[in-house]
Every structure is written in structure tokens, then in C-alpha cells.
Amino acid sequence: MEKERIGFIGVGLMGHGMAKNIVTKGWPLTVMGHRNRAPVEDLVAVGASEAKTARELALVSDVVILCVTGSPQVQAVIDGPDGLAAAGRELVVVDCSTSDPSVTTRLATSLAEKAITLVDAPLGRTPADAAAGTLDVMVGGADAVIARIRPVLDAFAGRVIHTGPTGSGHTMKLLNNFLSMGYAALYSEALMLGAKAGVTPQVFDGVIRGGRMDCGFYQTFSRWFLERDPNAHKFAIRNGFKDMSYLASLANSLGAANPVGAAVRNTFALAVGTGHGDDYVPMLTDIVQDLNRGDAS
């Protein structure tokens, strides 16, 4: 059976590993040019083609995967004279970004009128997992569409969980990121309090690691404050703040109070507001400590 032609937009930290798995496992792949040329050139070297615009990419693709920052970026590559929709052809668009579920469902409805099926398939785990093909994927959409794209998802995923209709994947991703960003805020505050009381990070780790408060997130997060490894957990604080803002929007749309989510969001807002948006999430440990010494820059 001939494999479908895949388009890929957003070959950054996560997208590069995903796209490389797709092309090296036999799918015809076209990627859109990126401001960082290195991942594009690496993919072209192993067999991918490059398109200059989203419209050009759509013309040579059956399924298009998006791995961009969030809803505004998704809409930007779909709309406009050079967007995916401008190609005027039937497509399945798989949004692997962490997007606002309300925007996703509205967009799915409008795109259906143009013969474009939108599926949300946000990701769990890290860029290292993307390269290894062991990501978690939370996918929302109709059964038949999920069955069609499942082989492609399996190329870069270790687990694929069908969460329900379109929009449910992005909802679940926000809940997942609420937990992970919540852990980051909790660990950072606990480490700060420990440091003030004379408890070292090594003692803290000795108690947490292997205990009930340990988890996969902690194991990568802790490599910053224990080993100063900047590459262990490459997820920008700015993106954490964006996700927590989406969570606040979701809570508002549901008429729900989410005081813990608001506290986590404010921790990330403070980090971004003090100039640390491009730092990775584990570096929040330093930021919280600096803010409590009164000497944060």
C-alpha cells in the first residue's frame, strides 16, 4: 500500500525529531522552511523536500502535521493567500501544538466547509523522546480519521491515546501541562524554602528520588538543579506561561474556579515578567530563589 504524502510545519525542538522519524520510516515528507536552517537541511539530507509556503506544502501533501507554538501560529499557517487552506484541496491537518481548545473546535468547523479535517494531537514528553519516537500523543477526532493517521503518529509516538472528539486532545494537553507546570512551581518553591532553612538540593533529592513524590518529570527537571544540565528538559518558561493562560481561558469558559492554576500561572508570569521567558522550565528553581533574595535581574 502506497504511503500518504506528509507535510510538516514547525521543525523546531520537538518537530525535528518527529519529522525525522516520519521520513526515515518511509513516508514522503515535505517540510516548510524555518528560520533555523539546520533542522530543515538535516531533514532534506535524509530525503525530505522543502516548500517555501504553507500553500505550496499543501499542494503536495495528503496529511499536514503542525508543531508550532499555539493557536495564533496555527491560524497563521492555515489562513491567508499563502496558507494551507489557499491550496483549495482536501487535507487532514494534525495540530500537534498546545492550542486553545475553544479555538480548535471553532477552526475545525470552519475548515470542514473547505474539505479540510482538523485533528488535534498534542504531545507529551521531551525533544529526546521526539527523536527516539517515544512521545505520548493525545488525539482528538473521529474514529475513521484517527485510524487513517494512526500509522503516521506511531512513527514518532510510543503511546497514542484517543481522547474523544476534536478539541479533547488539546483539553487533555492543558490538564497534563497544568500538572507538569504545577510540579515545576512546587519543586521550585520547596527548594527555595529548603535552601533558606539550610536543606541542600542534594538532601532534597535524596528524599524525593525513589519516593512517592518522584516522577518522570522530576527526573529530568532535577538534572538542572543537581547537575546544571541545561538540555535535560528543554521547554521554555514562556511556553509554560502560555499554556497556563490557555488553562485560565478554559476554566473561564467552563465557569470554574481554578485557584491552584491561577497560582501556577502567576509563578510563570512573574518569571516571564522579570526577563526569563526564554529560560527552560527547570531554571525556575533559580528564578524563585533569586526573587526571594531580592536580587533577581
In the chain the domains, ranked by start, together with CATH numbers, are 6-166 (3.40.50.720), 171-293 (1.10.1040.10)
- Mean pLDDT for 242-264 is 96
pLDDT band at 297 (very low <50, low <70, confident <90, very high): very low
- The per-residue pLDDT for 1 is 65
pLDDT at residue 82 is higher than 90? yes
Residues acting as catalytic residues: 173
Query: pLDDT (tens digit, 9 = 90+) per residue, 26-66?
Result: 999 999 977 789 999 999 999 999 999 999 999 999 999 99
- The per-residue pLDDT for 294 is 58
Query: pLDDT (tens digit, 9 = 90+) per residue, 262-277?
Result: 999 999 999 999 999 9
Which H, E and C letters describe the chain, residue by residue?
CCCCCEEEECCCHHHHHHHHHHHHCCCCEEEECCCCHHHHHHHHHCCCEEECCHHHHHHCCCEEEECCCCHHHHHHHHCCCCCHHHHCCCEEEEECCCCCHHHHHHHHHHHHCCCEEEEECCEECCHHHHHHCCEEEEEECCHHHHHHHHHHHHHHEEEEEEEECCCHHHHHHHHHHHHHHHHHHHHHHHHHHHHHHCCCHHHHHHHHCCCCCCCHHHHHHHHHHHHCCCCCCCCEHHHHHHHHHHHHHHHHHHCCCCHHHHHHHHHHHHHHHCCCCCCEHHHHHHHHHHHHHCCCC
